Structure 1
Amino acid sequence: MEQFLDQFFNVTVLVKYTPAILSGLGVTVVLSLLIVVVGVGVGTALACLRAYRIRPISFAIVIFADIFRALPPLVLILLAFFGLPNVGVVMSSFTVLFLILTLVLAAFAEEIVWAGITATPKGQWEAARSTGLGYTQTLGYVVLPQAVRMVIPPLTNRAIAITKMTALGMVIGVPDILGEATTAQSFSANASPLTLAAIAYVLLFLPLVVFSRWLEMRFAHPKV
């Protein structure tokens, strides 16, 4: 037990590397917020664009969503970071991680919001159009609010799942929680920084998981 505690809960190591883990926590928080805001926003915009049912555009959106939902994010990150410089496109590790995870979340968000739009009763469209609202007004004022309300729980769950993938940034040198922890672990030859990283992830994402559970209960369809 003493050896276990020294390896995973070494007080000296924990104190020494806490500032680095906190710095990584700040990077993870900024990344997560940017990914969620931009990813959900782009996904929702694509779902609305798809609602116009313009075949070439709808086809392109479907292809985009299928590709980014099918490919592992780590593969995309490595391709972007190590492959694009060979064709003259160089981006920082932070930018690559943000861009790839944002596109992945956008792909999932598009499909989720699209499911909400198609699940909205046809009568809602017809009732709104009968009052003189145009197609865009009906979509924006009547259909989209109902669709978003229906898909908030799965959208929130997917957003949390994608933002936890910020840990993949470690492989390209992003100084997030895991990146700082693995660096500290290498210098200290001790696993305590990884324990500290695990605690940081719990403190960051557990409230989001609880919030997601509350949303599921709040927006669940009433039982008959």
Structure 2
Amino acid sequence: MRFGIPVYPGSNCDRDVGWVVEKVLGHEVRYLWHREIDLSGIDCVIIPGGFSYGDYLRAGAMAKLSPVTEAICEFAEKGGLVMGICNGFQILLEAGLLPGAMLPNKTLSFICEFVHLRVENNQTPFTSLYEKGEVIRIPIAHAEGNYTCSPEVLKELEENGQVVVRYCSPEGEVSEEFNPNGSLNNIAGICNKRGNVFGLMPHPERAAEAILGSTDGYRMFESIVKSVLA
């Protein structure tokens, strides 16, 4: 299986994701420079975290104009699997592949810490190896992770099961106390209606090996492989 990882000027988690795919998962990686438009032979695109184009204007706003982003949009429209991590999630929102937008964290500061997430939907290609309601521990590292959308979109996301992971306590309690950034309904990650595009603020690639303090993120990558090769 071959993963495509776009590299924008300012990306800084592309090699982290690539390490997990190649060295931990044992699959092939193709790095896609931001000017590239050929996604032939790619089974899944993972848009990494970082500060694409220095987060000028707002996070992801300039990256959405890159040729590779246009190619990713076409890939997704044809049913290709796309996951956006942190800045990758922000890019998916800016590109219109996922609904909503990001605001600065409620603290107005950069947050880098482990958080707990409750798996709300395990029927996606990215979460099939988790149990519904399972609590996992994965780190965040962002300044603009405060997810927002209109009341109408929020209602639709909740009713359709498009909220995939939600910030919670270690026991699975969802409340403002365990919401690190102010995100609506404690939303940490969502998918589109078809379920082939998934964006989340936490970094599963930073929780894919025991040496990093958690392996809870590894099954996201493993779920993708299972979905493609099943």
With structure 1 as the length reference, what TM-score do the two structures score? 0.26
Structure with the largest fraction of helix: 1
Higher relative contact order (CA 8 A, sep 6+): 1
Which of the two has greater strand per residue? 2
Superposition TM-score, scaled by structure 2 size = 0.25
